[in-house]
């Protein structure tokens, strides 16, 4: 009888633990120019859309125990003694340079939030729809409009389902490594002070992972003696594989827009054209976790995202097309590859400790052949 009671008690404990796990709720609470994100009442992050900033962003971003993992931001939570390089790196953000010649990544042109709508205030996920105007350098006219559905899960997976829409004129995303979906981590997590970087193929270190295509890259390090990490994930239905701008000083981002820049000229520039009235859809995930890559089951979380174990919302305004296989005829192609490339300052020129000599310029990803690989840019028709 005692053995049966013990077994019953163990089973009951497992049920309660499981129920507690599945009962976790993400909550969005809106105030003036902010949306606070909590998970079971614990602070996770805050979405900032105050027009005093040159773009919207999430910050600070906290790990599962509440530890802040993002670097302080000028005008938000920085202190006079903080020495901030690259002040345009702000928490979790979305921006890129060279859109019709504008430099939104460098914040020389602004991204203005025009709509923020809480779709699901409580749930797993909680869901937020934002619309941002990526303005031209004049600050008034619009280069491209971004509509993004942001889904935030209880396991701290944050997904962006992005649609860029052109107005009456075409939009050109020129070749650059300065973009697109990024995270700037607290200094103690940086590779240059002991942080670790690994991608889905097992390549290790920023020098090996920079500029490479991969399903995901994980960057972990220490904060107050505890290990935390950030994973950025590419989606296989994006129009082509993205590459990672991952640096030893704490910058971490992913972008599909720089084949020439990311291969140090070994591949030609391949600008992306959205025709007038057209759209381009991109999807990315970011997983904030405790522990290292293996302990956080990064590969499993990625597979779960793609398999729908965490439900993926769809932007209503974006029509979808079936994934193209090698046997299918892809949509119409529109690329401009003969245009001259301008030389411009990038992140590492601002930090003398960063050297491109240490970057492996290999143009492929060490034998990895993504199913979705395409070597040409499609004309986007709501894909």
Instruction: Kindly give, in sequence order, each residue whose CB lies less than 8 Å from that of residue 74, ignoring residues fewer than 6 positions away.
Output: 84, 87
Q: CA quadruple 10, 14, 19, 25: dihedral positive or negative?
A: positive
What value, to the nearest 5°, has the Cα angle with vertex 371 and ends 366 and 377? 95
More confident residue, 285 or 6: 285
Q: Which of these ranges, 67-81, 163-177, 273-287, has the smallest mean pLDDT?
A: 67-81
- 134 pLDDT above the threshold of 80: yes
- 14 pLDDT above the threshold of 90: no
Return the DSSP state at 379. P
pLDDT at residue 309, rounded to an integer:
61
pLDDT at residue 74, rounded to an integer:
78
More confident residue, 190 or 350: 190
Average pLDDT over residues 273-284: 97
> DSSP strand E in 110-265: where?
111-120, 122-123, 126-135, 142-152, 157-165, 171-173, 179-184, 196-199, 216-223, 226-234, 243-246, 251-255
The model's pLDDT over 149-192, given as tens digits with 9 standing for 90+, comes to 999 999 999 999 999 999 999 999 999 999 999 999 999 999 99
- 1 pLDDT above the threshold of 60: no
Q: How far is it, in rounded angstroms, from Cα 80 to Cα 60?
A: 18
- 355 pLDDT above the threshold of 70: no
Strand partners of residue 111: 134
Average pLDDT over residues 47-72: 96
More confident residue, 307 or 82: 307
Strand partners of residue 120: 127
Percent of the chain residues topping a pLDDT of 70: 73
pLDDT at residue 310, rounded to an integer:
57
Q: How far is it, in rounded angstroms, from Cα 257 to Cα 245?
A: 11
pLDDT at residue 319, rounded to an integer:
36
Query: How many CA atoms lie within 13 Å of 105's alpha carbon, on the beta-carbon side?
Result: 26
Element (H, E) at 345: none
Strand, helix or coil for residue 15: helix
Nearest of 262, 259, 211, 252 to residue 228 by alpha carbon? 252
Q: How far is it, in rounded angstroms, from Cα 55 to Cα 45?
A: 16
Strand, helix or coil for residue 186: coil
The answer to whether 195 and 339 have CB atoms below 8 angstroms apart is: no
Q: How far is it, in rounded angstroms, from Cα 379 to Cα 238?
A: 13
- 4 pLDDT above the threshold of 60: no
pLDDT at residue 78, rounded to an integer:
60
More confident residue, 254 or 328: 254
The reply to whether omega before 60 is within 30° of 0 (cis) is yes
Q: How far is it, in rounded angstroms, from Cα 5 to Cα 9?
A: 6
The model's pLDDT over 210-254, given as tens digits with 9 standing for 90+, comes to 999 999 999 999 999 999 999 999 999 999 999 999 999 999 999
The domains of the chain are located at: 62-358
Mean pLDDT of the chain: 81
Average pLDDT over residues 346-353: 39
**369 falls in which pLDDT band (50, 70, 90)?**
very low
Average pLDDT over residues 75-90: 73
pLDDT at residue 325, rounded to an integer:
38
- 61 pLDDT above the threshold of 70: yes
Strand partners of residue 287: 157, 231
Average pLDDT over residues 100-114: 96
- 299 pLDDT above the threshold of 50: yes
């Amino acid at each position: 009888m005692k053995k049966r009671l013990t077994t019953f008690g163990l089973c009951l404990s497992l049920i309660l633990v499981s129920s507690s796990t599945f009962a976790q709720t993400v909550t969005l609470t809106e105030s003036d120019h902010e949306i606070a994100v909590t998970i079971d009442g614990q602070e996770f992050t805050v979405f900032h859309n105050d027009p005093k900033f040159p773009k919207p962003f999430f910050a600070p971003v906290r790990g599962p125990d509440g530890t802040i993992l993002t670097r302080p931001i000028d005008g938000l939570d920085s202190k006079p003694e903080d020495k901030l390089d690259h002040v345009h790196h702000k928490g979790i953000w979305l921006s890129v340079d060279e859109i019709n010649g504008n430099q939104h990544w460098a914040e020389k042109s602004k991204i203005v939030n025009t709509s923020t709508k809480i779709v699901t205030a409580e749930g797993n996920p909680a869901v937020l729809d934002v619309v941002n105007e990526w303005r031209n350098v004049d600050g008034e006219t619009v280069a491209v409009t971004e509509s993004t559905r942001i889904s935030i899960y209880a396991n701290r997976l944050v997904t962006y389902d992005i649609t860029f829409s052109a107005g009456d004129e075409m939009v050109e995303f020129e070749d650059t490594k300065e973009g697109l979906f990024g995270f700037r981590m607290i200094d103690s997590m940086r590779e240059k002070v002991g942080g670790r970087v690994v991608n889905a193929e097992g390549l290790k270190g920023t020098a090996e992972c920079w500029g490479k295509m991969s399903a995901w890259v994980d960057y972990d390090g220490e904060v107050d003696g505890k290990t935390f990490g950030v994973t950025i994930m590419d989606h296989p239905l994006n129009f082509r594989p993205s590459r990672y701008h991952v640096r030893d000083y704490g910058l971490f981002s992913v972008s599909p827009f720089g084949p020439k820049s990311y291969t140090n000229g070994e591949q030609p520039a391949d600008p992306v054209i959205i025709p007038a009235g057209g759209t381009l859809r991109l999807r990315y995930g970011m997983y904030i976790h405790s522990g290292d890559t293996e302990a956080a089951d990064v590969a499993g979380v990625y597979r779960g995202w793609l398999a729908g174990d965490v439900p993926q919302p769809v932007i209503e305004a974006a029509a979808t097309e079936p994934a193209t296989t090698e046997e299918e005829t892809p949509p119409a192609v529109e690329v401009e590859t003969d245009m001259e490339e301008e030389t411009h300052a990038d992140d590492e020129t601002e930090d003398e400790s960063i050297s491109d000599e240490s970057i492996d310029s290999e143009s492929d990803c060490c034998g990895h052949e993504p199913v979705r690989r395409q070597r040409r840019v499609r004309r986007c028709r709501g894909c």
